[in-house]
């Protein structure tokens, strides 16, 4: 797909994916949770992570609940932002910074139980991230709860810019 070398995040994830059995998702989640402290605090779990697709889940437990014992609205937004951000982060060259530009969340109905976010980039979006000095991309993300429904719909626009300001 690309002639560019992997970035630091994708190299780290590749090393972690070589671990045996169930250790890989746990350790990946732990390490990435240390890179982004709020992700660790919320105990988000990285179920799948590649250059084209990231799947992140959150368990409906006390520390992320709202007043009606569902996943808190801010935790739902964090779930979507994390999945889309790591999707971009797996591709952005090391000399660029990924930055959230637009985080739009529509809350449609009460959620049921645990939740999962699936973010995906199309090949042409990945190529754009790899080759353009700076730009932006809308990262599609689907958020489902235990019932299989989508209690929220999100629009996440990510930008990338050079690390050094010119």
pLDDT attached to residue 1: 40
- Cα distance between residue 162 and residue 166, in whole Å: 8
Token pair, residue 7, equals 């970035």
pLDDT attached to residue 28: 82
Domains for the chain: give ranges and CATH numbers: 8-162 (3.10.129.10)
How confident is residue 24, by pLDDT bands cut at 50, 70 and 90? confident
Q: How far is CA 151 from the centre of its chain?
A: 18
- Total-model pTM: 0.90
């Amino acid at each position: 797909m690309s002639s560019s070398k992997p970035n630091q995040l994708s190299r780290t994830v590749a090393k972690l994916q070589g671990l045996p059995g169930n250790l890989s998702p746990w350790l990946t989640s732990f390490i990435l949770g240390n890179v982004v402290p709020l992700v660790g605090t919320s105990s988000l779990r990285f179920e799948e992570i590649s250059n084209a697709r990231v799947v992140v889940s959150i368990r409906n437990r006390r520390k992320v609940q709202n007043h009606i014992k569902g996943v808190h609205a801010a935790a739902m937004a964090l779930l979507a932002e994390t999945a889309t951000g790591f999707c971009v982060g797996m591709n952005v060259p090391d000399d660029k910074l990924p930055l959230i530009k637009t985080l739009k969340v529509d809350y449609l109905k009460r959620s049921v139980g645990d939740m999962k976010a699936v973010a995906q980039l199309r090949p042409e979006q990945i190529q754009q991230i790899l080759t353009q000095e700076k730009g932006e991309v809308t990262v599609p993300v689907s958020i489902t709860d235990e019932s299989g429904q989508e209690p929220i719909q999100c629009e996440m626009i990510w930008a990338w810019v050079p690390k050094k300001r010119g």
